[in-house]
């Protein structure tokens, strides 16, 4: 049987090139496999590549009768139905850590951009407001970073890199995660305590059913009118309707968001706001991050087809 | 004689409030003092407050016959004619370090924003491009920060803070300044060598006649097609025409600019470019930075009027 690999999610072709040099790829480009290919073509597929956030349930697995491995491009795997995979003896693997620096860098970029009002500042110049001495949208100075309280929610590889970067800005850093880690930042006993304490909440928690809408209207109220939230994790962690309301009525000061509840859709009411900086889920989108993720995908696939244990397995 | 202080530059009134609580302010709001006030009003003025970048020559000093002190709000003093001041026995003082964190933070903000293409990314969402699956302006991934070579030009308080912040992003940092400093970064023997080596050039040098247009067409060619320049120092350091050409023909990849040759004017050709992030000289514009600068101004003025040595004197 050939080393056929189905590309389940929609990926730019360029990102699959190195993988395609080693394996025979069938690109479903985001369609259901059974709609993109014949049953005959799919019967030889023993592995697939998916974006971890995309829903992948038993029905899709059943359309690939010989599927043995689900390989996540990236660190996330929240879209994979692990129970369904386990019942079908399908192993799951990911690309851990490869994109951590890139995602952490975007978290800092979003935090700095929204707290320094980069979008209105740039627009003020581009529209000629500065040269014609129109009132500046930046008139009232806002607090800077020294002494600012940064709350990091989640202390995996991304959370650690966010904390290390943001600490260099002379801030105070504290965190909350399920367990205490050996890191030089104060551990808060609850997410609510962290949110109550911090000026900027950086969400770096792994998404799952337990974190669904954990940042809700109450939490945003705790963050308060000079507080910012930055999310580079998954849109599901924040109740997006509550966030929209909090940004509109100034319950919080602003937000930097790379992820949304229903990607690739961000509500019009959100994209119309001046106090947000929005990016299209590009946290891991740097050259080195992609090369690292591709290395992990190739290593996982090579081990699987060689009948060896996968180097980066994940379990629910 | 009353403690009359002339406000020479144009400052938002809110920034002068704490100073006005202590001293009797005459606000020329950017006009020539002799146009804003009568000679009789000006004859009691013994000190003035200026933005260091603004031109302040002998003619202005002569319109204030009792002027004894020029107090710069901020760290810069490049607009002050020191020879003219010295001839008139006028002392000059500034607000050193007070805005260093704020300016360094903006340098990082600009670097991250331009290298991660935050403006086109945000615009892609706001214009509905993402949700309608229009081709993304971010399609080709660009290099990330780990291993990126950051050249810091100037190693004063702002340069040090830029270096400390950017090193936390897993970059390599080197610097050039007139002399070697006791810092944990590689010292380059010339500016040209630094520019040739680096991927991102961070300009944090104190401006003066010796740095006028020191970043010219040749230097930009050395920076190269994947290189970025960030300037939070003074517009005079870069030959703006050469920069515009280099950005337009892709001699360099992009720029983040807080300062311009003729403020508050940025050329239309520059504000039309997609590969720049522009801010209206807001490096020091945070709450804590302003409070720190006001503390310095008040301390300088109080010492001057008490006949004591100024705490933050500067000499040409």
Residues A13 and A134 in one domain: no
Residues B37 and B159 in one domain: no
**B269 and chain A in contact, CB less than 8 A:** no
Residue A122 inside a domain? The answer is yes
Q: Measured between alpha carbons, how far is residue B11 from residues A211, B1, B7 in Å? A: 47, 25, 8
Residue in the structure block whose two tokens are 């000190």: B47
Question: Contact, B229 vs B247, CB < 8 A?
Answer: no
Residue B80 inside a domain? The answer is yes
Strand partners, B56: B80
**pLDDT tens digits for range B101-117:** 999 999 999 999 999 99
> What confidence score (pLDDT) does residue A2 get?
63
* Dist. CA A99–CA A73, nearest whole Å: 10
Residues A292 and A265 in one domain: no
> Is the model's pLDDT at B2 over the cut of 70?
no
Please give the residue of chain A at the shortest CA–CA distance from B148. A288
Catalytic positions of B, please? 234, 263, 281
| B165–A167 C-beta distance less than 8 A | no
What is the average per-residue pLDDT within B141-160?
A: 97
**Per the structure block, which two tokens stand in for B206?**
């104190």
**pLDDT tens digits for range A165-179:** 999 999 999 999 999
> Is the model's pLDDT at B22 over the cut of 80?
yes
Residue A314 inside a domain? The answer is no
Instruction: Find the CATH number of the domain harbouring A178.
Output: 3.40.50.720
Helices (H), chain A: 13-20, 33-36, 39-42, 58-62, 82-87, 100-115, 118-126, 157-167, 191-197, 217-223, 240-248, 268-271, 287-305
> What confidence score (pLDDT) does residue A316 get?
75
Chain B interface disruption, residue of A113, A136, A161, A290, most B CBs within 10 A: A113
Per-chain mean pLDDT for chain A? 96
Q: Which residues 283-302 on chain B approach chain A with CB closer than 8 angstroms?
A: 285-290
Q: Which residues of A touch B265 (CB under 8 A)?
A: 130-131
| Share in percent of chain B as helix, strand, coil (round to 5) | 35, 15, 45
Residue A313 inside a domain? The answer is no
Residue A60 inside a domain? The answer is yes
Residue A312 inside a domain? The answer is no
Strand partners, B152: B175, B202
Q: Which among A108, A133, A287 has CB closest to B112?
A: A108
Residues B165 and B257 in one domain: yes
A54 alpha carbon, distance to own chain's centre: 12
Residues A136 and A223 in one domain: yes
Residues A224 and A186 in one domain: yes
What is the average per-residue pLDDT within B223-242?
A: 98
Instruction: Clarify whether A281 is annotated catalytic.
Output: yes
**pLDDT tens digits for range A66-104:** 999 999 999 999 999 999 999 999 999 999 999 999 999
CA atoms lying within 13 Å on the CB side of residue B293: 29
**pLDDT tens digits for range B34-90:** 999 999 999 999 999 999 999 999 999 999 999 999 999 999 999 999 999 999 999
Chain A interface disruption, residue of B168, B291, B293, most A CBs within 10 A: B168
Look up the pTM and report it.
Answer: 0.95
Tally A–B CB contacts below 8 A. Answer: 167
Q: Which residues of B touch A165 (CB under 8 A)?
A: 168-169
Residues A189 and A91 in one domain: no
Q: Measured between alpha carbons, how far is residue A285 from residues A73, B33, B246 in Å? A: 12, 54, 26
Q: Which among B130, B168, B265 has CB closest to A164?
A: B168
At B135, the pLDDT band (50, 70, 90 cuts) reads: very high
Q: Which residues of A touch B289 (CB under 8 A)?
A: 141, 144
> What confidence score (pLDDT) does residue B316 get?
75
* Dist. CA B46–CA B305, nearest whole Å: 9
Question: Contact, B119 vs B274, CB < 8 A?
Answer: yes
> What confidence score (pLDDT) does residue A225 get?
98
Edge to edge, what strands does the sheet with B91-93 contain? B24-27, B4-7, B47-50, B69-72, B91-93
Which residue range(s) make up the domain with A17? 4-98+287-305
ipTM of the complex in this document: 0.95
Residue A163 inside a domain? The answer is yes
| B101–A144 C-beta distance less than 8 A | yes
**Would you call A163 exposed, middle or buried from its count of C-beta atoms within 10 A (0-12, 13-18, 19+)?**
buried
> What confidence score (pLDDT) does residue B25 get?
97
**pLDDT tens digits for range B160-196:** 999 999 999 999 999 999 999 999 999 999 999 999 9
Q: From the CB of residue A117, how many other CB atoms can be counted at a distance below 10 Å?
A: 23
Q: Which among B119, B125, B167 has CB closest to A280?
A: B125
**pLDDT tens digits for range B283-297:** 999 999 999 999 999
* Dist. CA A166–CA B17, nearest whole Å: 32
**CA–CA min distance B193, chain A (Å):** 26
Residues B104 and B90 in one domain: no
* Dist. CA A315–CA A91, nearest whole Å: 8
**A273 and chain B in contact, CB less than 8 A:** no
Residues A179 and A213 in one domain: yes
Residues A93 and A113 in one domain: no
What is the average per-residue pLDDT within A147-158?
A: 98
Q: Measured between alpha carbons, how far is residue B104 from residues A105, B160, B193 in Å? A: 17, 9, 23
**B282 and chain A in contact, CB less than 8 A:** yes
Residue A39 inside a domain? The answer is yes
Q: Which residues 162-191 on chain B approach chain A with CB closer than 8 angstroms?
A: 164-165, 167-170
Q: Which residues 227-266 on chain B approach chain A with CB closer than 8 angstroms?
A: 264-266
What is the average per-residue pLDDT within B254-258?
A: 98
| Domain count within chain B | 2
At B214, the pLDDT band (50, 70, 90 cuts) reads: very high
**B113 and chain A in contact, CB less than 8 A:** yes
Please give the residue of chain B at the shortest CA–CA distance from A259. B125
Residues B119 and B90 in one domain: no
| B264–A130 C-beta distance less than 8 A | yes
| B286–A170 C-beta distance less than 8 A | no
Please give the residue of chain A at the shortest CA–CA distance from B14. A140
Residues A145 and A131 in one domain: yes
> What confidence score (pLDDT) does residue B202 get?
98
């Amino acid at each position: 049987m050939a080393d056929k690999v189905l590309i389940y999610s929609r990926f730019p072709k360029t990102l699959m090139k190195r993988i395609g040099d080693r394996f025979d790829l069938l690109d479903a480009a985001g369609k259901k496999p059974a709609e993109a290919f014949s049953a005959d073509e799919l019967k030889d597929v023993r592995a697939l590549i998916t974006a971890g956030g995309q829903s992948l349930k038993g029905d899709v697995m059943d359309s690939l009768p010989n599927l043995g491995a689900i390989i996540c491009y990236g660190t996330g795997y929240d879209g994979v139905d692990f129970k369904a995979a386990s019942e079908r003896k399908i192993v799951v693997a990911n690309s851990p850590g490869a994109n951590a620096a890139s995602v952490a860098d975007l978290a800092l970029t979003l935090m700095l951009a929204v707290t320094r009002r980069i979008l209105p500042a740039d627009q003020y110049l581009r529209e000629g407001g500065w040269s014609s001495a129109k009132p500046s949208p930046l008139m009232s100075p806002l607090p800077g970073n020294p002494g600012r309280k940064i709350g990091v929610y989640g202390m995996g590889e991304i959370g650690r890199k966010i904390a290390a970067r943001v600490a260099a800005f002379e801030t105070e850093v504290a965190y909350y995660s399920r367990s205490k880690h050996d890191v030089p930042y104060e551990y808060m006993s609850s997410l609510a305590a962290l949110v109550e304490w911090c000026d900027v909440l950086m969400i770096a928690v792994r998404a799952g059913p337990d974190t669904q809408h954990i940042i809700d209207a109450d939490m945003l109220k705790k963050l308060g009118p000079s507080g910012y939230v930055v999310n580079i994790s998954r849109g599901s962690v924040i109740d997006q309707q509550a966030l929209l309301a909090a940004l509109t009525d100034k319950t919080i000061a602003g937000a930097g968001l790379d992820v949304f509840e229903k990607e690739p859709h961000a509500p019009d009411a959100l994209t119309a706001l001046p106090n947000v900086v929005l990016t299209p889920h590009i946290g891991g989108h740097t050259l080195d991050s992609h090369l690292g993720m591709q290395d992990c995908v190739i290593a996982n696939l090579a081990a699987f087809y060689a009948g060896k244990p996968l180097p980066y397995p994940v379990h629910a």
